[in-house]
Amino acid sequence: MRYFIELSYNGKNYHGWQIQPDAMSVQEKLNNAISTIFQEKIEVVGAGRTDAGVHASQMFAHFDIEKELKKDVIFKLNSILPNDIAVYNVFLVDDEKHVRFDATSRSYEYKIWLGRNPFLLDFSWQIHSQRPDLNLMNEASKLLLEYTDFQTFSKVKTEVYTFNCDVTEAFWEQNENELTFHISANRFLRNMVRAIVGTLLDVGLGKISVEDFRAIIESKNRGNAGLSVPAKGLFLTNIKY
């Protein structure tokens, strides 16, 4: 039988979601917790692969087991897992249901704090003196919906079958000192959101124009895009099936 797990995690202490040979990952912690409970080796499959330091307020994983689970499985998992990983739901699905391939949409948020806030150091990128133009960044963000090839914003050394992504929304909003970038797509490339945010900030700070941003997308050259902003401000927020 196949079960889906809904969870969240603070990515600060992890080298991303995926198991690494010499570094701690969220997937490893979840595997160990489930295997401990059922006294057999169980490996979970994740809906995506967040990079080192990236957070997830909603993540899904699935695993297969021959026994029916009891209602206390969530309590048991949270008793074993470290405090920076939390399981909210475990539910039975059809055997063919795949947590990664059946996902139709994924959403991310990137958070920037204008000024200093010691309580948000682990969950935002803090810009102390500059004030980016939100209107310009939103104007440039709209261009993302016009394109499907996002090679410009992908890690250079990555093995993917296509650089195409269907971006369905991309916009900035401001709540006092907090800037939040929202983006949704059917799939994302490695480092894509952080590279997009870095390039949009160049627009907001007047380093490049909106039309320059269009030319950067069309160039399909990572060297033309802006910096990759720090991982700590990035959150995987929603996955739809």
Residues designated catalytic? 51
Residue 29 identity (one-letter amino acid): K
H/E element, 77: helix 73-80
Burial of 33 (0-12, 13-18, 19+ CB in 10 A): buried
Sign of CA dihedral 135, 139, 144, 145: positive
Q: What angle do CA 224, 49, 65 make, to 5 degrees?
A: 165
Contact at 8 Å (CB) between 217 and 86?
A: no
Specify the residue for token string 């133009």. 133
H/E element, 75: helix 73-80
H/E element, 203: helix 192-204
CA distances to 103, 168, 170 from 155, in Å: 23, 21, 20
